[in-house]
Structures are given as C-alpha cells and as structure tokens.
Chain A
C-alpha cells in the first residue's frame, strides 16, 4: 500500500511564529487530507486537498500531486494550534503519516 511520510516529527515554536509541515507519499493519491488532533483525541478536518492550494484563516495547504507531496502552512501560530498534525491519503483505505507534534509556547 501507499506510504506516507511526515516531517518534521516534532516542532516547537514561539507564539506568533510561522511553520511549514511536509507530507510525502510514495505513490499517486486520489486525495489527501490534513487533520489536527487535539489533546482530547478529536481529529479535526483541516483540508481535503488532492491538488492545488487552499486557505482557511491562518492555515493554508498546497498539494503538488505530480511530485507526491503536500505542505501545511501555519502562520502567526497560537498556543491552541498545539497538538499533532496528520496527513492521510484515502486511497480506498486511509493511510496516515506518523504525524508532526507541534508545541506552541506562549
């Protein structure tokens, strides 16, 4: 099955900083999702982005399907952005990356 790799595994930021999270996938994907898992375990849908760029407030995502990667940008980070960010490819079944654990310090 498809392999999904995320980097970096851990990221510590000061509040207000910007960051870029990366997701590489081993094969063509029909679609790609980004999630934020909060400390209570809830997986929150951030983007459903098979290709191109989408923006939602301080967050944006870009997927370059031909080069098999996706990027998640977080600008002006806040402490509430802390948690784990997953990308996943729902090609018939859902394969998750290992996640990026983000800590935003006040």
Chain B
C-alpha cells in the first residue's frame, strides 16, 4: 500500500481562524513532508520531519506550525493566515530523506 491520506480535502477559513491539516501514512516511512503549491507553480517544500524530528524549515512564517505526533501522522496547524496563503497543501512521505516520495491528494485551502 503506497497511500498517503490527507484531511480535509477542502478548507475555507477566515483570517482569524485556527485550523489544522492532517496527513497519515501506514507504509512505515520515517520521513514526512509538507509542501505548498500555488496555481501553475511547482510544489515548494515547507517542512521536513525525519524520525519525528523537524529537520528542515524552509523559512516558513510562524503562522504555519507543524507537528509530528508519531511516525505515521503529520499535522499542520494554521493560525492568522493571509489570503495569499490560499494554495494546495500537499503531504508526502518516504522511507528516508533522499528516497522516493509518495504524495497525498492534498488539501485545497482558501483564506477569506
């Protein structure tokens, strides 16, 4: 099974809301990733967790807060977002860093 699941599929939130995106994999992978993708652009890496520890934070604003409760789960907590944060948020996992990555279907986020 090479499935990565993400919830919710769609999310609309106001600039004062707090929400969370969830990602789950059951492939025994030890690296998990969050990406942000704007329309007509490639995905851009936001965070990397390796063995449940944050190893890369690509200068992402603090209104995005990642969490890795265990090796199968990855959350992205959202607070005080801006309209320009509207995008497709993709989660991925891999056996380890530099290994093949598998992506979830994404959460399409709209900030109003």
Contacts and interface: CB of A to CB of B under 8 A. Distances in A.
Interface of A: 30-31, 33, 35, 40-43, 45, 48, 86, 88, 90-99
Given A93-B48, A96-B43, A99-B42, A45 B102 contact: yes
Given A93-B48, A93-B56, A94-B33, A43 B43 contact: yes
22 contacts: A31-B98, A31-B99, A40-B105, A41-B37, A41-B90, A41-B106, A42-B106, A45-B2, A48-B100, A88-B101, A90-B94, A90-B97, A90-B98, A90-B99, A93-B56, A93-B58, A96-B42, A96-B43, A97-B42, A98-B41, A98-B42, A99-B42
B108 interface: yes
Closest 4 CB pairs of A and B: A96-B42, A43-B103, A48-B100, A41-B106
A6 B37 CA distance: 17
Contact of A92 (B42, B88, B98): B98
Interface residues of B, number: 26
B45 A93 contact: yes
Contacts of B58: 93
A17 B100 CA distance: 30
B98 A91 contact: yes
User: Is the contact region of chain A dominated by helix, strand, or loop, or is it mixed?
Assistant: strand
A90 B45 contact: no
B98 A42 contact: no
B45 to A, nearest CB: 5
Nearest to B58: A93
Nearest to A32: B100
A30 B98 contact: yes
Given A42-B103, A91-B98, A94-B45, 14 more contacts: A30-B98, A43-B43, A43-B90, A43-B103, A45-B2, A88-B42, A90-B97, A90-B98, A90-B100, A90-B101, A94-B35, A94-B92, A94-B101, A96-B42
Contact of A41 (B41, B98, B105): B105
A33 B42 contact: no
A96 B43 CA distance: 7
